[in-house]
Chain A
């Protein structure tokens, strides 16, 4: 039982009457961050290092946010409590009959209830939710800073919300990719007619231990652990990991590349020992840029991908289809499963930026870790910066792994983002 906070009065009393379970959950929330009201043109609540609303014009901001909900809508979902401005604007609409407000962080909501009045809590049209909503319900609007400060249990919902908000941008990116893929398919016609299909690899390594190696920052921490083990297993590397592996004297058995970007060629330029790769197949998506294919010094195996653009443009060639949903790591894992791995070890598949780095040392496409980040937890339960894309790929991988039977999935690289259902190899870094 936790102590009651003295200043925690009217809003909690209202919540206690209407939603006693939520009141109990709020009363036990741990602050965990620094708090305060800003001394700005309009005061707002500051949580850690961010303002929870505008500190110049809260009313105008709330009106803008509310405009996401059609005026005639009878129902609306608000994710995040903020300071209640958005709720007030929506409830001023005569058409609105049901307003669902979802708490994304008990600590932030509780502090907000402490510092400002929340008369919307008394409105009979309001239903307050905590912990019972795990999907994006329409029509919805976010009190964005309350979503960015989501507590751990609400981070999966946070990611879905942010993905939904980014949908127009994702569609634009996919449209640009589609144009590149179409050009590459035309240029790769002869190769696609001649190269063996990934179908031919089915069951090739039945019962094997397979290492799927990405080029996340934890690569540098796990490579010494990896070195003596790879000789006994099958090594599937994503394109980004080729140079880091070769620099460590490890030659992969297979390399996977799926991204249609021409920039991938950087991963195959300047390979120190190209002859070592002479018999190593590049398992490639049919829309891979021709320059990337030309730069590969080994052999080739074509593979289709489980994405709409390939289903539309080349549904029958290649015949073998690998799972992919945004990252080459998906296809590399599915290749290991396809070839019959009994145990599949994920290496440096980090989906985050441990040590504020994007990749292993020496990866030519490494980026400075700037721009908008979200936080997720690493394999040891620590908070670690990531991006919406990366946690989305991680979540897609989790869903894929849930569909695979008969394969044990493990991993190394404890500073990587936690992957539900995948345990760390005991004693490994």
Chain B
């Protein structure tokens, strides 16, 4: 390597060093440390003791691991599925040329700006079984609404609805994608006699499929890390009431690591979650080759 090349290399490394240092200190080290601790009996206050795969073996036999995984999967699938559908529907509606469009766009985007704590309190009041606005409105059309937050069959659904309410960010991304679809394609399909639904099915969806793919992957990653919603809506207990129906995976991880001082076990949980998210993202990427179109 010539002195000039070495100098260039050093300059390059110096400029990228903030990112490299950040990645190593705040991502790589915690990741590897957690991997090591997951193989240890580590109570935080005492030095870790190596126990091999014991934590993983215990994890797969733990009722609460499976319970929290099921709760989280239900929430992630529900919030990603419903959230994507709602965000896409709203984006398509907001992409049309109607009067007061700016107002509607702002109105639908606003909930996603609401801080999680304030939003949770608002939904807490709306979900009230007696006198809450949701059940009052349901009552007007002759439906007896459930006790959203006290009934174990409805508590998770209630959290999903709250998550969908904040789908404004996805909606804006979809809207940007929709506005990027060439008009010529719509014109060609109209000339060919395509109906509105056919245009949606064969032009719009394929053209914005990369955006859908992006939102779904980000939604899955976020959904599997659900934590604050359950704590805010059902706290101060972290037991995931009612009947552990809102005991999400990260909440259980928090319980085990910070409340029960079993950081080794919590690290094993964190690694399993990491692998699950990695696997799902990989799966989505593989599937994307079949349905995501990058043609322009």
A and B: bona fide binding partners: no
Which B residues fall within an 8 A CB radius of A? none
Give the B-binding residues of A (Cβ under 8 A): none
